[in-house]
């Protein structure tokens, strides 16, 4: 299961900018034990994929702050609930 958290910002100069932080886990135990190397951060501008900026961002202190700001276990549980709910 791919866990994804997005951060959006709208600017006059560049329009909609989106950072998509994601990782892939198969079960709750993996969600509990995610390491910083398991993530990728993609940049989109105006709904267009620009680049995987993980190699650049992971060299900065903001990388760990960004990853740690998200409760990945809670996100996993929410996604499991959504998958289990009938349409």
pLDDT score recorded for residue 22: 96
Residue 87 pLDDT class (50, 70, 90 cuts): low
pLDDT of residue 86 exceeding 80, the answer is no
The least confident of 54-58, 65-69, 70-74, 81-85 is 81-85
Task: Quote the pTM value.
Answer: 0.85
d(CA 9, CA 14) in angstroms, rounded, equals: 10
Q: What is the largest CA-CA distance in the chain?
A: 42
The Cα-based distances of 29 to 47, 72, 73 in angstroms read 33, 11, 9
Evaluated on CA atoms 57, 22, 37, 49, the torsion sign reads negative
Instruction: Give CA torsion, residues 67, 10, 43, 3, to 10 deg.
Output: 50
């Amino acid at each position: 299961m791919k866990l994804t958290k997005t951060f959006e910002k709208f600017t006059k100069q560049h329009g909609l900018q989106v950072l998509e932080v994601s990782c892939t886990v198969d079960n709750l135990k993996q969600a509990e034990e995610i390491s910083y190397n398991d993530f990728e951060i993609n940049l989109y501008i105006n709904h267009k994929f620009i680049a995987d900026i993980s190699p650049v961002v992971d060299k900065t202190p903001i990388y760990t702050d960004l990853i740690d700001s998200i409760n990945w276990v809670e996100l996993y549980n929410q996604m499991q609930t959504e998958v289990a709910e009938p349409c």
